[in-house]
């Protein structure tokens, strides 16, 4: 191996898109653990111990997405956004988010700088929407620690971050998506985020669980992520099976090469013109291939 080839290999390994997902998740968690150890020595009673933990969780959560069929993926970091809005002042929240998303920007598997910048901007808009909505609901209610008001504020904040994210992505794609399917991912993000936020610092004078709260309730969120990943794998296998079956007439010489692909392409364009989307277009494509 030449020196140039060796250097090129090292550069490729160091690029985020060449890292495995496990590596991209491990890096913010390790950095967070080191930073927490430093904060524990310098300012153990301050708010930054938990904010560093949440920041590392957000950066790691950016690498894991719930991917329901028919809609854009949702990162697990959105659940931790709801914890952050209760964990510190607005200034502390913004600093935490900027650092966390900066690290996620560096580790992002997206190959282009534009795509990374765009995703980071969407995340910033989402957390600002969540923070503003949370404070607005609490200020309107007048009681910061009333149970129903805190729950309502967290639910509205979770809905706001998802709506803003979906809206910006739809605006970028120049296509509105108001479909109701795939919203179980929204429910998983909002409910687990609210549970983590409440379990962290309690409600109505009841003491919270501290850092153990977000850690404990992150487990069902990870279980939901795993379930969605299994569905994605099954869907991928289904698509591969359909594609393989579509080649049988071509291999038998019954139709010209590429016939099924051309029919599927025409069907998709026709379906788009008719206003179909998501699962409907996928079903139409599968039918056309066969």
**Do 257 and 205 fall into the same domain?**
no
- Contacts with 213 (C-beta within 8 Å, 6 or more apart), sequence order: 195, 196, 198, 199, 200
**149-168: per-residue pLDDT in tens?**
888 999 999 999 999 998 88
Mean pLDDT of 36-57: 89
**Do 254 and 219 fall into the same domain?**
no
- For 33, list phi and psi in degrees, rounded to 5: -65, -40
Mean pLDDT of 80-91: 90
Q: Is residue 232 part of a domain?
A: no
Q: Is residue 235 part of a domain?
A: no
- Determine if the pTM surpasses 0.75: yes
Specify the pLDDT at position 13.
41
Residue 60 CB: number of other CB atoms within 10 A? 25
Please tell me the distance from the alpha carbon of residue 56 to that of residue 104, in angstroms, as a whole number.
Answer: 9
Q: What angle do CA 286, 188, 204 make, to 5 degrees?
A: 165
**104-113: per-residue pLDDT in tens?**
999 998 888 9
**Do 74 and 131 fall into the same domain?**
yes
Q: Which of 53-67, 172-186, 253-267 shows the lowest per-residue confidence on average (mean pLDDT)?
A: 172-186
Burial of 205 (0-12, 13-18, 19+ CB in 10 A): exposed
User: Does pLDDT of 182 surpass 80?
Assistant: no
User: Does pLDDT of 3 surpass 60?
Assistant: no
Distance between the two ends of the chain, CA-based, in angstroms?
Answer: 48
Tell me if residue 44 falls in helix, strand or coil: coil
**Do 128 and 38 fall into the same domain?**
yes
Q: Is residue 221 part of a domain?
A: yes
Please tell me the distance from the alpha carbon of residue 24 to that of residue 75, in angstroms, as a whole number.
Answer: 14
**Do 151 and 282 fall into the same domain?**
no
Residue 200 CB: number of other CB atoms within 10 A? 24
**Cα separations in angstroms, 60 against 142, 160, 253, 284:** 35, 22, 50, 36
Specify the pLDDT at position 15.
54
**Do 192 and 152 fall into the same domain?**
yes
**Do 61 and 176 fall into the same domain?**
yes
**111-132: per-residue pLDDT in tens?**
889 989 999 999 999 999 999 9
Specify the pLDDT at position 203.
80
**Do 59 and 182 fall into the same domain?**
yes
Whether 130 and 82 have beta carbons less than 8 Å apart is answered as yes
Tell me if residue 203 falls in helix, strand or coil: strand
Q: Is residue 215 part of a domain?
A: yes
Cross-strand pairs, 75:
65
**Do 89 and 152 fall into the same domain?**
yes
**Do 211 and 251 fall into the same domain?**
no
User: Does pLDDT of 102 surpass 50?
Assistant: yes
**Do 9 and 89 fall into the same domain?**
yes
pLDDT greater at residue 26 or residue 15: 26
Q: Is residue 282 part of a domain?
A: yes
Q: How many domains does the chain have?
A: 2
User: Does pLDDT of 285 surpass 50?
Assistant: yes
Q: Is residue 242 part of a domain?
A: no
Please tell me the distance from the alpha carbon of residue 97 to that of residue 83, in angstroms, as a whole number.
Answer: 12
Residue 260 lies in domain: 247-289
Tell me what percent of the residues of the chain surpass a pLDDT of 70. 86
Helix axes 77-87, 48-61, angle to 10 degrees: 160
Tell me what percent of the residues of the chain surpass a pLDDT of 90. 38
**Cα separations in angstroms, 94 against 84, 98, 215, 224:** 9, 6, 22, 28
Specify the pLDDT at position 149.
86
Specify the pLDDT at position 118.
92
Specify the pLDDT at position 5.
45
Mean pLDDT of 172-192: 76
Q: Is residue 240 part of a domain?
A: no
Whether 51 and 96 have beta carbons less than 8 Å apart is answered as yes
pLDDT greater at residue 142 or residue 281: 281
**Do 35 and 65 fall into the same domain?**
yes
Q: Is residue 56 part of a domain?
A: yes
């Amino acid at each position: 191996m030449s020196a140039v080839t060796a250097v090129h290999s090292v550069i490729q390994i160091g690029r985020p898109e060449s890292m495995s997902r496990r590596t991209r998740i491990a890096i913010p968690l390790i950095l967070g653990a080191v930073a927490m150890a430093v904060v524990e020595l310098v300012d153990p009673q301050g708010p930054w111990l938990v904010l560093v933990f949440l920041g590392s969780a957000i950066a790691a959560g950016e690498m894991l997405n719930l991917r329901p069929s028919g809609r854009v993926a949702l990162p697990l970091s959105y659940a931790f956004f709801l914890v952050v809005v209760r964990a510190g002042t607005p200034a502390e929240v913004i600093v935490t988010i900027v650092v966390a998303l900066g690290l996620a920007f560096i580790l992002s598997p997206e190959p282009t700088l534009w795509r990374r910048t765009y995703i980071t901007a969407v995340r910033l808009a989402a957390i600002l929407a969540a923070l503003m909505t949370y404070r607005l609901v609490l200020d309107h209610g007048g009681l910061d620690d009333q149970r129903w008001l805190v729950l309502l504020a967290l639910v509205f904040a979770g809905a706001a971050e998802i709506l803003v994210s979906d809206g910006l992505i739809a605006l970028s794609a120049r296509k509105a998506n108001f479909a109701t399917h795939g919203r179980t991912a929204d429910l998983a993000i909002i409910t687990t985020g609210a549970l983590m936020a409440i379990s962290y610092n309690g409600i109505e004078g009841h003491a919270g669980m501290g850092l153990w709260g977000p850690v404990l309730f992150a487990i069902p969120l990870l279980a939901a992520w795993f379930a969605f990943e299994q569905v994605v794998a099954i869907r991928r296998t289904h698509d591969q099976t359909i594609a393989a079956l579509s080649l049988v007439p071509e291999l038998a010489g019954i139709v010209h090469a590429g016939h099924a692909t051309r029919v599927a392409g025409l069907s998709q364009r026709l379906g788009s013109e008719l206003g179909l989307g998501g699962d409907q277009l996928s079903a139409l494509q599968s039918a056309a291939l066969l």
